[in-house]
Homo-oligomer: A and B are copies of this chain.
C-alpha cells in the first residue's frame, strides 16, 4: 500500500469527519455526550487492531512483538501528551476567542516541522521548509474572517497568556505526533501489535476522562457507562467509525510515512471541508479560501515533487536571473 494513497484516503475521511460531526448535531447542539465519541473510537481501533494482529499470528512469519516493559511503558506517553494538550487547549480558550484559537491552530504545522527536525533528526531542504511555512500560511489565509463577519477586532488583541498557551498547545500536539512516529519506527514490531498497545492505553485514558467528568459533574447525569449511547443516531455511529478509521490510517502513516505527510493530509482535509461546506451548508465562498487553496497546493507540490521536476530549466533560462549581472553593457558592436 503506497503512502500517498493512504494519505489521500486520510484526507477524505478527516474532511468527512468535520461534515459528519456537523450533521450529527440537531439544531446546532449535540444530543449525545461528545466525550464518549473518542472513547468508542479508541475501542473500535483496539478491536480492529486486535483482530488484524490475531489474523497475523495465524500466518508465518510470526509477527514480531516486543513485550518487555522497557518498550511497553512508552506507549501510554502519547495519550498522556494528548491529555495535557486538552487541558492546555482549555486554558487557551479562556484567554482567546475561538477564531483566534483556530488561527493559532495552524502553528501546529510549523512546530511539527521543527520537532520532526529536532527529535527525529530528519533533515529538510530549504524548499521543504518554505513549503511547510507556506502550508501554515495557506491554511491561515483560508480562515481569515471575511468582511462583514463578526469577532475580528479581537484578533491579536488577546492577553499574552492566550498566545503563550496557544503556542504551547501547538508544541504539545506536534510532540504527540512526533513521539508516536518515534514509537512506531523505533523497532520492526508488527504495526498491529504496536497499535494494540497504543489503543489499549488510549481507551484507558479516555475512560479515565469520562470518569473524571462524572466526578466533576457529581454523577448528576449518572455514571458514564449507563448513558454511553444516549442520543446516539446512525450519524453519531458514523462519526465514531470515521474517527476510528482516521486513527488507524494515521498510525499506518506514522510507521510507513511520517508526520509531515500526516500534516499535509489533515491540512488539505480542512480546505476540502470548507469547500464541501460551501455546497452542503451553502456557506459563502470567500476570496481568502480560494487564495489559501492555491498556496497550499503550491506548498504540496514544493514539498513532494521531485527536485528535477521543479528545477529543470531549458537552456535559455539557465542564464536567468543570475546572469542579469553579467549581461554585457556593450556599446561598441551591433548584435
Footprint of B on A, CB under 8 Å?
A: 2-3, 56, 61, 63-64, 66, 103, 121-128, 130, 133-134, 137, 140-141, 144-150, 152-153, 155-156, 187-188, 190, 256-258, 260-261, 287-288, 291, 294-295, 298, 301-307, 309-314, 316-317, 320-322, 324-325, 327, 329-335
Q: How far is the CB of A263 from chain B (nearest CB, A)?
A: 12
Could you pull out 20 A-B pairs where Cβ atoms are within 8 angstroms? A3-B324, A3-B325, A61-B331, A61-B332, A64-B333, A122-B320, A123-B317, A125-B313, A126-B311, A127-B127, A127-B311, A133-B294, A134-B134, A141-B291, A147-B148, A147-B152, A190-B331, A257-B324, A257-B327, A260-B321
Are the C-beta atoms of B298 and A130 separated by less than 8 Å?
yes
The contact of A312 among B56, B125, B291, B320, by CB within 8 Å, is: B125
Residues of B within 8 A of A325 (CB): 2-3
Q: Closest residue to A99 on the B side, CB-wise?
A: B147
Cβ-closest 6 pairs across A and B = A147-B152, A123-B317, A123-B314, A3-B324, A145-B147, A127-B310
Distance between Cα atoms of A330 and B256 in the complex (Å): 11
A123 CB contact (under 8 Å) in B56, B63, B316: B316
Query: Nearest residue in B to A130 (C-beta to C-beta)?
Result: B298
Contact partners of A147 in chain B: CB under 8 A: 145-150, 152
A313 touches B256 (CB 8 A): no
A144 touches B321 (CB 8 A): no
Q: How far is the CB of A297 from chain B (nearest CB, A)?
A: 9
Across the interface, which residues of B come within 8 angstroms of A316, CB to CB? 121-123
Contact A331 B64 (CB under 8 A): yes
Can you add 7 more A-B contacts, CB < 8 Å, to A123-B317, A130-B298? A125-B310, A126-B310, A137-B294, A188-B334, A258-B320, A258-B324, A261-B321
Chain B residues, Cβ within 8 Å of A288: 141, 144, 288
Given A147-B150, A147-B152, A317-B125, does the pair A330, B188 have CB atoms closer than 8 Å?
yes
Judging by beta carbons under 8 Å apart, are B331 and A188 in contact?
A: yes
- Taken together as a complex, chains A and B put the C-alpha atoms of A104 and B63 apart, in Å, by 60
A332→B64 contact, CB < 8 A: yes
C-alpha gap A149/B146 in the complex (Å): 9
Write out the residue numbers on chain B whose beta carbons fall within 8 Å of the beta carbon of A148.
147-148, 152-153
A311 touches B311 (CB 8 A): yes
In angstroms, Cα B309 to Cα A304, docked, is 17
User: Which residues of chain B are near A3, meaning CB under 8 Å?
Assistant: 321, 324-325
A56 cross-chain contacts in B, Cβ below 8 A: 331
A287 close to B155 (CB less than 8 A): yes
> A134: which of B150, B152, B295, B311 is its contact (CB, 8 Å)?
B295
Inter-chain contacts of A260 with B (CB < 8 A): 321
Tell whether, in the assembled complex, residue B295 and residue A188 are in contact, meaning their CB atoms are under 8 Å apart. Answer: no
Known: A148-B153, A150-B147. A287 touches B188 (CB 8 A): no
Contacts of A287 in B (CB 8 A): 103, 140, 144, 155-156
